[in-house]
Structure formats: C-alpha cells, structure tokens
Structure 1
Amino acid sequence: MRLEAITWDRLGEQLAERLLAVEPADGGAWTRVALDGAPAAGPGALAERISEALRVRGRPSLVVGTEGFLRPASLRLEYGHRDAESYYSGWYDIGALWREVFDPLGPEGNGRVLPDLWDPVTDRATRSPYARLPPGGVLLLHGPFLLRHWFPLDLSVHLVLTPGALRRRTAEAERWTLPAFERYDDETDPAGTADVLVRADDPRHPAWSG
C-alpha cells in the first residue's frame, strides 16, 4: 500500500471534502464516520480537525468519543485495573453506543444523540443533554476497537502505529493495554479493512492512503 505524506490540517480538509460526497449507505439522513485508533494515535484530534473543516464548508457535525461510553467501574474493573482482556472486550458500553448514537442516526432516527453517558472520574452518569444533529449532518465517532462491532459506518478511518511507535507513545502507566491492540490487529485487521489508513508514527508528519 502506497502512503502519501500530508499535514494534519490538510488531512482534515481532504477527509471533509470526501465526506461532502458520501451518501449514507442505508438511505438515512446522516453520515456516520469512525476514527479508529489507539489513544496514542490521536483519533480524537483528527475528528476535531474534520469537524472544523466541515463547519467552514457549511456541513454540521457531531464529535463523539467512546471514552464517554465507558461501563461503570464495578463492571469495567471486575478483573482488576490492568486486565488487557477486559479492556479489549468489556470497558466500553457498546449497547449504549448503538442505542444512544447509532439508532438515532439510522433511517428511522430523529437525530437526537447522547454525546456521552458515563464519567469515569466520578463513576456516575454524566447527565449530559441530548444533541440534535440536523439531517445531512456527520457523526465523527472516535476511539479504539471501533471496527470490530459492525457499526453502520459510511466511512472508516484507521490511525495505525507500528508496535514500536505505539509503545513509545503510550504512557508507561497505560502500557498494560498494548496486548489488546495486538489482539485487535490479529482478529480484525483494521489496517486492511478501513476505507482510509493514516500512518501516525511521527506525530508531526502523518501519511495516508485513501
């Protein structure tokens, strides 16, 4: 696969331009995009860049991070604070993402999305108000392991790091999560299945293939 060097700002603009031409695959009124990648790769920052590029083009969007849909600590940490298996398959409330984010943006949806559900610091519901994404708007969902859940996506972007770069850019206290990303690569092959691949080894100089 040939990757082309690009700046982050230009990448956000290029992806925004591409999204202007994307039609929802299910005939609905909203375009749904996944920015998939380890926290160290910065998928949330790219989602924000795309959102801003869409804004100046007159297209509404909503950025949602999976960190706002963590399960309660009693469930998430049932097997300890550093269990890679739990991190991979039990930390995120996938049912809530379907119910509060994807269902409202389906063909029969009303565009009323809950931007976050759970605060991991207080371990309580955030009680955030619903956000209404108007027809024609774009959902920009970012977080890890997104391509293993069969979400109804109209565009998928995977930010990839080599194992060495992932280790270097992951804080030492979080390196216990690394086996989960190795398993994700083996089971899901996100780099091979995503519509757009972004190489983020050098945080200053990404490269992409789309």
Structure 2
Amino acid sequence: MKIVNNSKSIRVNHLLRVTNYSKTAIAALTLTFGITTFTACSNDGNTPEVISVKDVEGSYAGKANITFIESSTSPTPIPQIEVETTLKEDTIYFGKFPTDVLITNIVGEEKAPEIIELAGDISYKVGYKPAFNEGYTQILQTLDPKPLKFTIEIPSKEEGQPDVMEIEATISATDKGVFTYQDKTLKFKLIVESAKLNGKPCEGISMEDIVFEMNKK
C-alpha cells in the first residue's frame, strides 16, 4: 500500500509540475503575443475586441499643411493640400507626394508652373515601426523617411536630348505619427531639410514642415 500511495504521490507531484509548467508557458506566450495585439472590451462591456498594430493599415485621404521659413525664393504658403496615402506592411505609400512647393522653392515662382506640369505625379514611400500607446487608444509610428529622388525631363528648344533635372530632397521626421482609434485619424509630420539639383546643393531655399492630417476611408 505504501508503494501505491507513493505512486499516487508521484503522479500528483508530476501533475502539479506539468500544470505549473503549462501556466508558465501560457503566460510567456500571452506576453509575447501581447506585444502586437491587445484584447479590449467593446462599448457594451460584453464582447471582447482584439486590436492589433496592423489596424493602422489601410487607405487614407485628407490634407497636408506646409509651412516654411521665409527666404528669397520661398513661395507663398499653400495650406490644405489634398493628399491620399496607403499604409501597408509598415510602409506609408504616396502615389502623389506634395512636391509643388519644393519645386517652386528650387526654380522660383516664375518657372514653377511649367516645371510642375512636366514633373507629373511624384511617388514616395516612408517606412515606419508601429507600437501601441500606454492606453491602447492609439498606434504610434516611428517614421524612417529616406531621401526623395525624382527626375524631370525638360524638352529641348533644339532637336536632341531633353534637359534633365535630377532633384533629391533630404527628409526627416522628429515626431511620431499617431493613429487614433476613436475617430480613425492619422497625423504625422515630415520635414524637408534641404535639396539638391543635379547633385549640387540648392542655396537659400526654405526648410518645409509638411503636416499630414487624414481620415481612414
């Protein structure tokens, strides 16, 4: 009987160890999974809602406000430029990035309309790393913009190869982007620090702050 009792004791102790191990494993998995997802209660307090940093992905439309430091070549401010963008796989995609002010800054207001028309739609993309805020009410994006590069072909007055304008703008981001769950809005700011034309720095142009305020479609 003692052996039987010992066997039972061994089985019970083993079961306790397995149970404790299982709890530890589940807790570890929950912690790992909770990095990118979170379960919240809906407004009725009954139905749980699972949220993820992937919720920021989708299509957006809104406005871009551009401000800059005045200089001899800086154009008149153009607030409230209509913009659209798509967020997917930790990247912000622009099919038409607002470059009119940048081009005007480089070539001056007199030449700008013609050059802007020749430039057409300039695409651009910005990488980001998403994370929840402490209250799980917002998704923050740490932005990682790269230089904006594009080429404009200028028809030659004489027969032959067209003239080419190669523009490169240095863009940075000091603040995090913010997606708010309550109103499905996305806000972020990009800074155009400097520009080069055909490899040469453009002197005297203004630094641009481009503030994007958009709503999810």
Place the TM-score, normalised by the shorter chain, in its bin: under 0.3
Higher relative contact order (CA 8 A, sep 6+): 1
- Normalising by the residue count of structure 2, what TM-score does the alignment of the two structures yield? 0.22
Rg larger in structure = 2
Higher strand share: 2
Structure holding more helix per residue: 1
